[in-house]
Amino acid sequence: MYEMPLGLVFHKAVLWHDGKKQEFRNLQEVDRDRNKLGWKFNCCAKDGRSLQAMFDGTGPSIHRLPYLKTNCTDTFEVVNNSLASATVRLEQGGRTIETLGTNVGAVLEMVG
């Protein structure tokens, strides 16, 4: 998710799977918790494929770091965990739902 000036917000998920880039739009957040570093969302592609993603960034590798604003007037906190877990459920028209996941190694970073 990217927030740009003038109130523009872009939502897009990209999954590289079976050697192919798959893009999903219409991202709908189910849950987002910056304090516990958790995020769940659903999205779909134009051809009917859908994706559900769940990230859990809790644990000992969570970092909270102050970043300096580009105009140097203040700082803001960024929360990061490079050892987060992730589960992705991929549904592709008529095929069995695939569940992809990792217990560690997903990277999750949140601001605001």
pLDDT tens digits for range 59-84? 888 999 999 988 999 999 999 999 99
Percent of all residues in the chain with a pLDDT value above 70, rounded to a whole number: 97
Query: What is the mean pLDDT of the segment spanning 93-103?
Result: 90
**pTM for this structure?**
0.82
Determine whether 62 is exposed, middle or buried from the number of CB atoms within 10 Å of its CB (0-12, 13-18, 19+). Answer: middle
CA atoms of 86 and 104, how far apart (whole Å): 8
Q: Where are the domains of the chain?
A: 2-111
Query: Mean pLDDT in the chain?
Result: 90
CA atoms of 99 and 48, how far apart (whole Å): 17
CA atoms of 54 and 109, how far apart (whole Å): 13
Residue with tokens 């549904």: 91
- Assess contact for 31 and 37: CB atoms under 8 A: no
Residue with tokens 């909270």: 64
pLDDT tens digits for range 8-35? 787 889 999 889 999 998 889 999 998 8
Confidence of residue 51 (pLDDT cuts 50, 70, 90): very high
Confidence of residue 104 (pLDDT cuts 50, 70, 90): confident
